[in-house]
Amino acid sequence: MVGSSDVISGSDGTQRCWWCAGDALYQLYHDEEWGMPVDEDRRLFEKMCLEGFQSGLSWLTILRRREHFRQAFAQFDFEQVARYDEAKVEQLVQDVSIIRHRGKINATINNAARAIEMVDQHGSLASFFWQFEPKRTSRRRRRDQVPAATDESTRMSRELKKRGWKFVGPTTCYALMQAMGIVNDHLHQCHAWPTIEAARQSFARP
């Protein structure tokens, strides 16, 4: 039986996953973005980088600053970001509108260069990331059934690290898989579950 902490009912009577409670921006992200399948390389790169910045923080903290991150990192055009030099790093370290973590900033620049290499090798970032889609999909009924990482995200993390990517642990990789529709981890009682599932079924895998 699903508990009251698993799905929430908004003022409109719509049931949603527990984690978007209490914030309108979070609820909008849940309703319109989270879990929708994505094959745009720039969006995949953005999500991986922002998940790296999120480590140790809440995703809502990052979401509230996402537009500032986009401005700071050239809309996550990885060809541009790969050319950032030390002077740019120093500028970003002083930018109060983003998370001023030197290691994560340097990791983003490093990962931009690795993303260029991956496109050369695989044709697109999407073709790399989507190869880790699980063969079976699950209908999560409770929040305690939603994992922090899976065998697939662990393999993705391992492959990315072999290619020189930074801040790409299994949990970070699984967060990308959830957000970009590689899995559908909306709770089955959530209003978004069937919408996401239909989008995934019609989605042309790269």
- Residues 6-20 have pLDDT tens digits of 999 877 889 999 999
Amino acid present at 110: N
Confidence (pLDDT) at 137: 73
Q: Residue 138: its pLDDT value, please? A: 74
Residues 5, 18 contacting (CB under 8 angstroms): yes
Report percent pLDDT > 70 for the chain: 98
Q: What is the pLDDT of residue 3?
A: 45
Q: Among residues of the chain, what percentage have pLDDT more than 90?
A: 88
**37 vs 137 pLDDT, higher one:** 37
Q: What pLDDT, on a 0 to 100 scale, did the predictor assign at position 1?
A: 31
Alpha-carbon separation of residue 4 from 7, 60, 84, 143, 187 (angstroms)? 6, 22, 47, 11, 13
104 pLDDT higher than 50: yes
- Give dist(CA 39, CA 22) in Å, integer: 30
The tally of CA atoms less than 13 A away on the side-chain side of residue 154 is 5
Mean pLDDT of 148-165: 97
Q: Which domains does the chain have, with CATH numbers?
A: 26-130+138-202 (1.10.340.30)
Residue 5's pLDDT band (cuts 50, 70, 90): low
Residue 4 scores a pLDDT above 60: no
Catalytic residues: 29, 51, 59
Contacts of 185 (CB under 8 A, 6+ apart): 35, 140, 146, 178
Contact 38, 178 (CB under 8 A): no
Residue 198 in contact with residue 146, Cβ under 8 Å?
Answer: no
